[in-house]
Amino acid sequence: MEYAIDFGTSNTVVARINENGEIETVKLDAYSSFIADNPPLIPSFVYVQDAVTEQVLIGQEVSDRGLDNKSIKGEPRFFKAFKRAIGSNVSMFVPEIDGREVEFELVGEWFLKQIIDRLPDVNSLIFTVPVDSFESYRNWLGKVCEKLTVDQVRILDEPTAAALGYGLNGGGETLLVVDFGGGTLDLSLVKLSSAQAQTAVNQPKSPLGFLLKWGDRTIKNTSTSNNQSSQTAKVFAKTGQNLGGIDIDNWIVDYFHKELGLPKNSIVTRLAERIKISLSSNESVTEVYFNDQTFESYELTLTRSQLTQILEQQKFFANLDQALDRIRQQATRQNLDLAQIDAVLLVGGTSQIPAVKEWALKHFPSEKVKANKPFEAIAHGAVSQGWELQDFLYHSYGVRYWDKRYKKHNWHTIVKSGTTYPLEKPVELTLGASIADQPSIELVIGELGETNVEVYFEDERLVTRVLDGKQVAVQILNENSKAIAKLDPLGQTGSDRLRVLFQVDEKRTLRISVQDLLIKQKLLDDVAVVQLV
């Protein structure tokens, strides 16, 4: 049986197609929470009982046992929001539990493995990933998959899955997905083919996404979309950033810290989250905090208008506007006007905040804004069958060079963001030796992104800060295989030595060919260098 897992910063959703051919959200006893009007969600919580033997509790069972604020002998054993830190460049403290260092990647692996072990008859899995995730996060998923006894694993962008999950009637829709969860904001403009997702459930057409694993082999990026009868989901534009509901919780905590002098701890953070959720259905909310050190009680009261003021102060709406502008710019380059879209789909728990819907209504007619499936759309869309994905590269890719003018390393872009693949023709680059008698030439290949959000640790919280301008975010992809050619005879400065051709194939694999111009020999011929999963 095939399952889709929408691994979220705050909650995780599992979906499958049941025996009747219907898509359903899976309930997992002990793990799933059951809140009125919500589907069964698995809180993304982990409590480490024993790090050495890898005994952990996850999801709702952590809260039910009152372990969501527990430590033993000063060792923090409760983890939440760990997805945000997986694959991050952020330098952070790694806790030691039972004499073992426990990284966030390991916590995430334990969490997913516990869920997968509880699912019956698993032979195929689909993971959804944020638009702005770097290859390191997706490669982490690939490493997790290597340890699973599951035949097939593939990945799919979260907003693309959400577009399929809403399954609007009529077909042929152009949809803007605003996916606003606990840790990320993703926007995606997707064009569906003329048949809607639900009609394809029982048809043997090729699935969308990229394979991470097939049988006993781990396949870093093999597209299975080769069936000409498949329906298509074409991505026209997408953007994302590290901004979500957890940040709003932190801003509310900061507000009460400033107004009432409350500490920034996990208890106040939980109260802030409850206030935020309650304000979705109430104009004003009050929670009580009792300080067991001073024996004082505090009333934490917040209104919707006060929350809106907090959001404005943190440039929340300015960030939403900037994200929408990036989508508009990408769409305009393809002669697509946002006024032509058929629906705006609000997805994720943070999208339930009234201020977010009010923002959407300022930009789009009310009849186009849909918000009736915030939690399940991604997982349900991912498990839909019979769709082929036509996508483009979200980040740019480049090679590192020494910038003599500024006396520092810089990056030369070889494949630009927004490029469709495979490339129509290879990108050519000519290289020479930088020192006399150089034995080899190296290329450092990086994934280049932009961000206006800084992620850092403060008061044991992983928080974000909106920057005034954009910064380049880079992740090196070939740290252990930089050398592309040995030079014989040795390289000398002042002349061109190598011609390098870069190609991205239909499987999103970056490949290079290298020719030695001095001896007129091909040193590498269409060799895969980096898997752009």
Query: What pLDDT is stored for residue 498 in this prediction?
Result: 92
pLDDT band at 195 (very low <50, low <70, confident <90, very high): very low
Task: Write the single-letter amino acid at 260.
Answer: L
Does residue 214 carry a pLDDT above 90? no
Residue with tokens 């030796």: 433
pLDDT band at 225 (very low <50, low <70, confident <90, very high): very low
Query: What pLDDT is stored for residue 205 in this prediction?
Result: 38
Region of poorest pLDDT, from 177-181, 444-448, 496-500: 444-448
Cβ contact 76:95 at 8 Å: yes
Average confidence score pLDDT of the chain = 82
Kindly calculate the radius of gyration of the chain based on its CA atoms and give it in whole angstroms.
Answer: 24
Cβ contact 45:58 at 8 Å: yes
The two three-digit tokens of residue 55, written as one number? 């005994």
- Work out whether strand 343-347 and strand 174-180 pair parallel, antiparallel, or are unpaired: parallel
Quote the percentage of the chain above a pLDDT of 90. Answer: 39
Other Cβ atoms closer than 10 A to 68: 17
Eight-class DSSP state of 404: T
Residue with tokens 């239909």: 506
- Work out whether strand 343-347 and strand 369-370 pair parallel, antiparallel, or are unpaired: parallel
* Alpha-carbon gap, residue 191 to 193, rounded angstroms: 7
> What average pLDDT does the segment 176-202 reach?
70
Query: What pLDDT is stored for residue 113 in this prediction?
Result: 95
Query: What pLDDT is stored for residue 463 in this prediction?
Result: 57
Query: What pLDDT is stored for residue 141 in this prediction?
Result: 86
Cβ contact 97:79 at 8 Å: no
The two three-digit tokens of residue 217, written as one number? 């082999």
Query: What pLDDT is stored for residue 198 in this prediction?
Result: 38
Does residue 178 carry a pLDDT above 80? yes
Residue with tokens 């290879």: 426
Other Cβ atoms closer than 10 A to 21: 10
- Of residues 243 and 14, more confidence is placed in 14
pLDDT band at 107 (very low <50, low <70, confident <90, very high): very high
Query: What pLDDT is stored for residue 209 in this prediction?
Result: 55
C-beta contacts of 410-419 below 8 A and 24+ residues apart: 411/446, 411/448, 411/472, 411/474, 413/448, 414/502, 415/502, 415/504, 415/510, 417/393, 417/448, 418/330, 418/333, 418/392, 418/393, 419/392, 419/393, 419/504
402 φ/ψ sector (left φ>0, alpha ψ -120 to 50, else beta): beta
- Of residues 202 and 289, more confidence is placed in 289
* Alpha-carbon gap, residue 60 to 67, rounded angstroms: 10
Q: Which of 42, 83, 39, 37 is nearest to 60 (CA)?
A: 42
> What average pLDDT does the segment 66-92 reach?
75
Does residue 110 carry a pLDDT above 80? yes
Query: What pLDDT is stored for residue 199 in this prediction?
Result: 37
Q: Which of 318, 424, 447, 380 is nearest to 14 (CA)?
A: 380
Query: What pLDDT is stored for residue 32 in this prediction?
Result: 94
The two three-digit tokens of residue 225, written as one number? 């979309």
Eight-class DSSP state of 396: E
* Alpha-carbon gap, residue 187 to 177, rounded angstroms: 5
Eight-class DSSP state of 114: H
The two three-digit tokens of residue 446, written as one number? 């990086």
First CA to last CA distance, the chain: 24
> What average pLDDT does the segment 106-119 reach?
95
Which residues have CB under 8 Å from 131's CB, separation 6+?
A: 157, 158, 159, 179, 184, 186, 187, 188, 238, 239, 240, 394
Angle at 274 between CA 11 and CA 239, to 5 degrees: 45
> What average pLDDT does the segment 292-312 reach?
92
Query: What pLDDT is stored for residue 285 in this prediction?
Result: 95
pLDDT digits over 340-375, tens only?
A: 899 999 999 899 999 999 999 999 999 999 988 899
* Alpha-carbon gap, residue 41 to 135, rounded angstroms: 27
3-class SS letters over 324-380: HHHHHHHHHCCCCCHHHCCEEEEECHHHHCHHHHHHHHHHCCHHHEECCCCCCHHHH
* Alpha-carbon gap, residue 461 to 85, rounded angstroms: 11
